[in-house]
A = this chain, B = another copy of it.
Amino acid sequence: MSKIRVAVAGYGNVGRGVLAALKNNPDMETVGVLSRNPDRVKKSFNEVPVMQISEVDAWLEALKPDVAILCGGSKDDLPVQGPALAAKINTVDSFDNHSRIPEYFKAMDDSAKAAGHVSVISTGWDPGIFSMERVVANAFLPGSRAYGFYGLGESGGLSMGHSDALRTIPGVKDARQYTHAVTEAIEKVRRGENPQFTPGDMHTRECFVVLEEGADKDAVAETIRTMPGYFAPYKTEIHFVSQEYLDEKCSGFPHDGLVVAAGTTGSGNPAAVEYRCQWGSNPEATANVLVAHARAVVRLAKEGKSGAFTILDIPPAYFSMHSKEELLAKFM
C-alpha cells in the first residue's frame, strides 16, 4: 500500500513535532517542509525538500502531497493561510482561538468545498481531544456539564499565550507563566455539583519574570496583577528570577489537563467521567494528534467528501492505522 504523502507547513515547535511524529506512523511519509523562510530552515533541517510556502504550485508539483499539515499560529498565520491552502490541497490545522472557531470553520468550509478538498480544523488536545470528550460526556450524561482544568501536575502547565503577554510589559526581559488547576474546584465537579465558576475559581497563575536592568519590580508586579483577561481575574503568584534560573528551571513545554463531568443516571445513581492527559511537550502532543487527523483527512477525501470537518465529525476508526478487522478483534 502506498504511503500517505504529507507536507508540513511551518517549522516552529509544532512543525518540528509533526516531523518527529510522522516517523512513528509507518503508513505516512514526509515529502517536504513549507516555510516562509526556507533558507533559514535548511540551516538546521535537510532531511526532505524545504520549499517556499507561497510558491504553492511549485511545491504541489514537486512534492505531490496528499495532505498538508498547517503548523502556523492561530492569530496571524492560519486565518489567511488556511483558506488559501484549502483551495489547493487537503489540510489539517490546530486553529485554537476557541471563540473564533465558527467563523474559521465557515471560511475553511467555503474554500475547501469549492475546491473539492477536505480540511480538518482546530485539532490537537484542546480544541481537539478535549472537544470530543466534552461532547461525548454531555451526550452520555445528559444534564451534566463538562469542565476543563489545566495544570493539575506539580509544575502546572506552561501557557505560551500568557508568557507572551508577560513579555509585552515594559521592564520585563523574559518570562514564563504556569497555569495551576484549583483542586477544590475539581472536587466540586467530581461530586456532581455542576457548579457555576468564574475563571478565577478554577485556575491560578504563577509567573516567573526576569526584569530588565533597573526596572521597577513593584510597578511590573502591579501591571501583571491588573492585566485584564490574562491575570486580573486570577490569584496570581509572581517570582522575580534570573535569566539563568528561567533557562534552567523553566525550559520545555509541559502541559496537562482534565475534562470532567459528573451527574446521575436514570434512578439517581451517581455517575462521573474524566479524561486526563499529561504531556512532557505540549507542541509535540498537538503534533501527534494532527498527524492522526492527516490520516483521517485522506480517508475522507478518498470517500469523495469535501469541506471543513472537526474531530466531532470523524469516526474514531479513521484516526487509526489498524484495519477495521484488527479494530473489531483487538480494540473493541
Chain A residues close to B by CB (< 8 Å)? 16-17, 19-21, 23-25, 98, 101-102, 105, 122, 127, 129, 131-136, 138-143, 252, 264-267, 269-281, 284-285, 287-289, 292, 295, 310-317, 319-322, 325, 327-329, 331-332
Contacts of A319 in B (CB 8 A): 135-136, 139-140
- Cα distance A20–B143 when bound, in Å? 14
- Cα distance A327–B127 when bound, in Å? 12
Contact A139 B279 (CB under 8 A): no
Contact A331 B271 (CB under 8 A): no
Contact A273 B281 (CB under 8 A): no
List the number of copies, as a whole number: 2
A24-B142, A328-B310 as given contacts; A265 in contact with B292, CB under 8 Å? no
Specify which of A102, A105, A138, A140 lies most central, judged by the most chain B CB atoms within 10 Å of its CB.
Answer: A140
- Cα distance A332–B310 when bound, in Å? 9
Contacts of A313 in B (CB 8 A): 315, 317
Q: 21 A-B Cβ contacts within 8 A?
A: A20-B266, A21-B266, A23-B266, A24-B142, A24-B266, A102-B325, A105-B328, A129-B273, A131-B331, A133-B275, A135-B319, A139-B321, A140-B292, A264-B280, A265-B287, A267-B281, A269-B281, A270-B278, A271-B279, A271-B288, A274-B277
Contact B277 A272 (CB under 8 A): yes
A218: min CB distance to chain B, Å: 37
- Cα distance A102–B105 when bound, in Å? 37
Contacts of A140 in B (CB 8 A): 129, 288-289, 292, 319
Contact B278 A275 (CB under 8 A): no
Contact of A127 (CB < 8 Å), options: B21, B317, B332 = B332
Contact A280 B271 (CB under 8 A): yes
Contacts of A317 in B (CB 8 A): 135, 312-313
- Cα distance A332–B105 when bound, in Å? 11
Contact B285 A17 (CB under 8 A): no
Contact A327 B135 (CB under 8 A): yes
- Cα distance A101–B264 when bound, in Å? 29
Contacts of A274 in B (CB 8 A): 274-277
Contacts of A21 in B (CB 8 A): 142, 265-266
Contact B131 A332 (CB under 8 A): yes
Contacts of A320 in B (CB 8 A): 135, 138-139, 312
